[in-house]
C-alpha cells in the first residue's frame, strides 16, 4: 500500500483489493497506513492535505447514493438532485484539492446487497474515479467481495487481491503472543507463547487477530480481578468463551433448549496436527 501511495500518476494506476475474514485486521492495516500519512493543515490556504483518504463503503451499490456517500464523507456541500456526472466531477475536484495520493473504500462487501446491475454501476464508478484521478484505489473486504469483484473481468484485472490469511501455530504467531504479553499490565509472567497456551489461544480465537485481542483483554481483566495476575489455561477455560466458528452452532443449540459443549482438547489437538503437517511440508521442501 505504501508503494501505491508513492507511485507517480499514470493513466491506469495500480490498485489493490485487501481480502480477509471478518475481524482479521483489514481496517487495522489501513488505519496504520493513514496514521503513517496523516492529514496536514496547509498553511498557505484554508484547506487540509489528505494523502490517504479513507472512506467506509456505502450500504448500497446504487451509483447516485455512492456519490452522495463520498460527498457526505468529505463534508462537501452539494445538491442531492444534481446529475451524477456533476457529482462525479465534484468528487474528483475535491480529492485533487486535498492532495489525495490513495483512496480507500473500507469493507466494500457492505455495498454488495444490491443486484448485479447496481454492483456493475458502482464498479464502473470506481474504475472511472481511478482513471480520472490517475491515483490508486484500495478496496478492503471479505471473501464475498472477492467473489463479486471476479464477476467483472476489468475489476478483477485492476484490483489484484492481497489476502490476509488466518494465523497459524508458527513462529510469527508466537511473536505476536509475546508482543501482546509485553503490553499487558500483569504482575506475573503468563508465557502466552508456551506449548500449552499458544495452541489453546489459537483454537479459541480461530486464527483471527481481532478475536485474539478481545480474548486476551477478557483474560487479562479476569487475571487482575481474581488476584491471580497471570493468564493460565484454567483461567482461559473459565471465560465461557465460544470460538467464532462455533457461535452459530451454540445459538442453534440454545434455540432448541440444548446445551453446547466445546471440546477444546480436540481443537488443540487439531491445531497441533496442522502445525506438524505444515512442518513436514517445509521439511520436504528443504530436502528438495
Q: Structural domain tally of the chain?
A: 2
Please give the backbone phi and psi of residue 120, each rounded to the nearest 5 degrees, phi first. -60, -40
Query: Is 140 inside a domain boundary?
Result: yes
Query: Is 159 inside a domain boundary?
Result: yes
For each of the chain's 288 residues, which pLDDT tens digit applies? 999 999 988 888 999 999 999 888 899 999 999 999 999 987 776 678 899 999 998 888 888 989 999 999 888 999 999 999 999 999 999 999 999 999 999 999 888 877 888 888 899 999 999 999 999 999 999 999 898 888 888 899 999 999 999 999 999 999 999 999 999 999 999 999 999 999 999 999 999 999 999 999 999 999 999 999 999 999 998 998 988 888 888 888 888 888 777 888 887 887 777 666 656 555 555 555
Distance (Å) of CA 135 to CA 7, 192, 200:
8, 43, 44
Query: Is 216 inside a domain boundary?
Result: yes
Same domain, 222 and 143: no
Distance (Å) of CA 21 to CA 110, 179, 189, 214:
13, 22, 31, 16
pLDDT of the residue at 48: 85
Same domain, 158 and 191: no
Same domain, 192 and 271: yes
Same domain, 121 and 207: no
Range of the domain at 119: 2-164
Q: Look at residues 96, 129, 164 and tell me which one is the last residue of a structural domain.
A: 164
Query: Is 129 inside a domain boundary?
Result: yes
Q: Look at residues 143, 164, 185 and tell me which one is the last residue of a structural domain.
A: 164
Q: Which residue has the cell 496514521?
A: 35
Query: Is 145 inside a domain boundary?
Result: yes
Max distance between CA atoms of the chain, in angstroms, equals 67
Same domain, 6 and 67: yes
Query: Is 142 inside a domain boundary?
Result: yes
* Cα angle: 39, vertex 42, 48; to 5 degrees: 45
Q: Which three cell numbers stand for residue 78?
A: 452539494
pLDDT of the residue at 280: 56
**Closest-CA residue to 204 (of 268, 249, 248):** 268
Same domain, 149 and 185: no
Q: Which three cell numbers stand for residue 27?
A: 481496517
CA distance 11 to 132: 8
CA distance 130 to 211: 34
Same domain, 93 and 134: yes
Read off the CATH number of the domain in which 83 is found: 3.40.50.300
Query: Is 281 inside a domain boundary?
Result: no
Q: Look at residues 109, 140, 164 and tell me which one is the last residue of a structural domain.
A: 164
Same domain, 240 and 105: no
pLDDT of the residue at 278: 58
H or E stretch at 92: helix 84-97
Same domain, 141 and 212: no
pLDDT of the residue at 216: 97
User: What are the residues whose beta carbons fall under 8 Å from the beta carbon of 118, sequence distance 6 or more?
Assistant: 60, 61, 62, 63
Q: Which residue has the cell 485474539?
A: 212
Same domain, 227 and 93: no
Residue 17, strand partner residues: 139, 161
Buried b (16+ CB within 10 A) or exposed e, 214-242: ebbeebbeebeeeebebbbeebbeeeebe
For the chain, state the CA radius of gyration.
23
Q: Which three cell numbers stand for residue 3?
A: 508503494
Same domain, 13 and 67: yes
Query: Is 282 inside a domain boundary?
Result: no
Q: Report the Cα 234 to chain-centroid distance in Å.
A: 31
In this structure, which long-range contacts are made by residues 266-272, counting pairs with CB atoms below 8 Å and at least 24 apart in sequence?
Answer: 267/203, 267/204, 267/243, 268/199, 268/200, 268/203, 270/203, 271/169, 271/199, 271/202, 271/203, 272/169, 272/199
Other CB atoms within 10 A of residue 269 CB = 13
Same domain, 258 and 139: no
Amino acid at each position: 500500500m505504501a508503494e501505491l501511495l508513492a507511485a507517480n500518476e499514470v493513466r491506469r494506476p495500480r490498485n489493490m483489493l485487501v481480502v480477509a475474514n471478518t475481524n482479521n485486521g483489514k481496517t487495522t492495516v489501513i488505519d496504520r497506513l493513514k496514521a503513517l500519512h496523516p492529514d496536514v493543515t496547509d498553511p498557505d490556504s484554508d484547506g487540509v492535505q489528505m494523502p490517504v483518504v479513507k472512506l467506509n463503503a456505502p450500504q448500497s451499490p446504487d451509483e447516485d447514493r455512492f456519490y452522495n456517500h463520498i460527498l457526505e464523507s468529505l463534508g462537501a456541500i452539494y445538491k442531492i438532485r444534481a446529475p451524477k456526472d456533476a457529482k462525479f466531477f465534484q468528487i474528483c475536484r475535491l480529492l485533487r484539492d486535498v492532495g489525495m495520493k490513495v483512496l480507500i473504500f473500507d469493507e466494500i462487501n457492505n455495498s454488495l446487497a444490491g443486484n448485479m446491475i447496481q454492483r456493475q454501476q458502482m464498479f464502473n464508478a470506481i474504475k472511472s474515479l481511478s482513471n480520472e484521478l490517475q491515483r490508486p484505489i484500495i478496496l478492503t473486504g471479505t471473501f464475498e467481495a472477492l467473489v463479486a469483484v471476479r464477476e467483472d473481468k476489468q475489476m478483477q484485472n485492476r484490483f489484484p487481491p492481497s489476502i490476509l490469511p488466518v494465523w497459524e501455530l508458527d513462529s510469527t504467531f508466537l511473536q505476536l503472543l509475546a508482543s501482546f504479553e509485553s503490553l499487558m499490565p500483569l504482575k506475573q509472567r503468563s508465557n502466552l507463547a508456551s506449548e500449552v497456551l499458544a495452541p489453546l489461544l489459537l483454537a479459541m480465537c480461530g486464527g483471527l487477530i481481532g478475536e485474539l485481542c478481545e480474548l486476551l483483554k477478557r483474560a487479562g481483566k479476569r487475571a487482575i480481578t481474581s488476584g491471580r495476575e497471570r493468564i493460565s489455561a484454567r483461567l482461559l477455560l473459565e471465560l465461557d468463551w465460544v470460538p467464532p466458528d462455533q457461535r452459530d452452532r451454540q445459538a442453534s443449540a440454545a434455540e432448541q433448549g440444548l446445551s453446547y459443549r466445546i471440546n477444546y482438547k480436540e481443537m488443540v489437538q487439531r491445531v497441533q496436527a496442522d502445525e506438524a503437517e505444515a512442518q513436514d511440508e517445509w521439511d520436504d521442501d528443504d530436502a528438495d
